[in-house]
Structure 1
Amino acid sequence: MGFSAAGTTVLITGAAMGMGRLFARLAAADRAGAVVLWDIDADALERTAEELRDTGCAVRAQVVDVADLESVRKAAAEVRNEFGRPDVLVNNAGVVRGKYFWDHDHESDTKFVMDVNTLAPMYITNEFLPAMIEDGGRDCRILNIASAAGTVATPRMAVYAASKWATLGWSDSLRLELVQAGHGHVKVTTVCPSYISTGMFDGVKNPLFAPILSPEDVTARSWRAMTRGTPLLMLPRSLYLSRVAKAVLPVRAWDRLADRLGVYHSMDAYTGRVKATAS
């Protein structure tokens, strides 16, 4: 029998807008008992919460700076006091900086991206994972949103790529650790999508065979993969082929191919949102 979110507690980071809001809608549509929304944007977060309250599920909206460990610890304690531990954890919050590495500022760019994209999922997961492990009778799910940038190097994405390579390595290692230690009731799904039309990657040019993805499609397929306990989901499917090509071709041969496919120039005209936030 497959996993069902009905009656469960679902926690979603970056829940105020974009994919986070869509994940929240999917949780409500699957009749989750409670949906916990984390985001740093208080106004947008409340709008999403109000939308979900009309569905009948319990909703808890918390303003959380996932880049700050103390903020995460405080919010997690409140969740445990009210709901216990979540059955489904969706680590969705992410930020991007699109420029050459030497143009990054240490604090506002490099540290910020690594804190939100890499350390935050680790901090958050560690707050709830021990209870998930101890409750061996109930299936739990962890859904980590990584990126295709975590599998293929791309100019003007050095720090973002680093953050997602780390996320992918951590997420899949965690999956294996849980299996090895006999905690198979906690399943980890890692999603590596290419560019998504959420506004976060405005200005990018999609590589050949990798169309810009819709957030609705990515969240729906990610949610299905999570419920099935699928270890890894790469979107679009052409990413699986590029992964093989990169592994078997000599580096310079792969570089020539990736350049011709447009991978290495996809960020040339990147603008992104006017104001980047941890959403």
Structure 2
Amino acid sequence: MKNFENKKVLITGAASGIGKLMAEKLAKRGAVVFVVDMNLEAAQTVVSSIKSSGGKAHAFFADVSNLESLKKLKSDISALGLGLDVLVNNAGVVFGGEFEKLPLEKHLTTYRVNVDGLVAMTYLFFDDLRKSKDANIVNLASASGLIGLPYGTTYASSKWAVIGFSESLRLELLERGIENVHVTTVCPSYISTGMFAGVKAPMLLPWLKPEAIVEKIIHGIEKDCAFIKEPFVVKWVDLLKGILPLKIFTFVNKLLGVSTSMTHWKGRA
């Protein structure tokens, strides 16, 4: 994507954190931003701020874990005749703790939001994206989708699913000769947005600043990158998993503090 001027960009979970920052930055680049969130009041506040700065934005309510809510979102946007060029599946949840001590509903909610909602959004808006001359599907995964994450089992496995879905879809589009829709998978380590309060960042994987990762994502969309992996050491995870014996790779994870990083997760207050 060469630029965002007048491009219609939908971002889920855009009332706060990474989604909010991305909405604000893309609006400054000329995009028409659809700020989608469960907290409609907060989404409207983001839209008001964007408009006061001369940008273009619309606020919509949606619960990405609820299919009927997503169908209504699609209907509301279609009724306005807005179309879509970029879909950013940013909404996500995380629950940490010992597997069997975490309520089952929280495990299942993780999948409903992080996987089911992401797939449903992509499905519902796919035809709109195909009509665009230059479209992008941007899926927020995680570095934990590349390795196991103790005390974050369903979170990590949901991100494994996001990576598998995104890469499979990207390759399918290539096989079908659909050249106007690109898929970008974002795999960052811990970002200091509050979602991971209590986490101890592993060695070589410092906390990522929201502003910096958002700039990386935007640049990745512009370049139609298949993957965005940050910080730099995340780019080497697949290679290390491939060449190191499992016991040694497991030992390295423990040595660096990856395996224990979620031990004291608290999340947002």
CA contact (8 A) 2:27 2:57 kept: no
In 2, distance between residues paired with 1:84 and 1:43?
22
CA contact (8 A) 2:129 2:136 kept: no
In 2, distance between residues paired with 1:55 and 1:36?
16
1:116 aligns with 2:113: yes
Under a length normalisation based on structure 1, what TM-score does the superposition of the two structures give?
0.93
Name stretches of at least 5 consecutive residues in structure 1 with no aligned partner.
Answer: 275-279
User: Which residue in 2 is equivalent to 1:23?
Assistant: 22
CA contact (8 A) 1:149 1:161 kept: yes
Structure 1 residues 222-261: aligned runs within 5 Å: 222-261=217-256
Percentage identity across paired residues of the two chains: 36
User: Which residue in 2 is equivalent to 1:277?
Assistant: none
User: Which residue in 2 is equivalent to 1:59?
Assistant: 57
1:130 aligns with 2:127: yes
Under a length normalisation based on structure 2, what TM-score does the superposition of the two structures give?
0.97
1:213-254 deviation digits (Å, cap 9, x = unpaired): 011111110111011100001110101223211222111111
CA contact (8 A) 2:14 2:37 kept: yes
RMSD: 1.2
Aligned partner letter, 2:99: F
1:96 to 86, 91, 94: 94
Which contiguous aligned blocks of 4+ residues in structure 1 show a shift greater than 4 angstroms? none
1:162-189 deviation digits (Å, cap 9, x = unpaired): 1100001001111111111011110010
Q: Secondary structure of the residue that 1:83 maps to in structure 2?
A: coil
Q: Secondary structure of the residue that 1:263 maps to in structure 2?
A: coil
Q: Secondary structure of the residue that 2:259 maps to in structure 1?
A: helix
Greater relative contact order structure (CA < 8 Å, 6+ sep)? 1
1:66-89 deviation digits (Å, cap 9, x = unpaired): 110000000111112213431011
Aligned partner letter, 2:124: E
What is the CA distance between 1:35 and its match in structure 2?
1.1
Aligned partner letter, 2:28: A
Structure 1 residues 192-207: aligned runs within 5 Å: 192-207=187-202
Moved more, 76-85 or 146-155: 76-85
In 2, distance between residues paired with 1:104 and 1:130?
38
Q: Secondary structure of the residue that 1:226 maps to in structure 2?
A: helix
Name stretches of at least 5 consecutive residues in structure 2 with no aligned partner.
Answer: none
1:49-75 deviation digits (Å, cap 9, x = unpaired): 111111333321111111100000001
In 2, distance between residues paired with 1:131 and 1:63?
19
CA contact (8 A) 2:146 2:237 kept: no
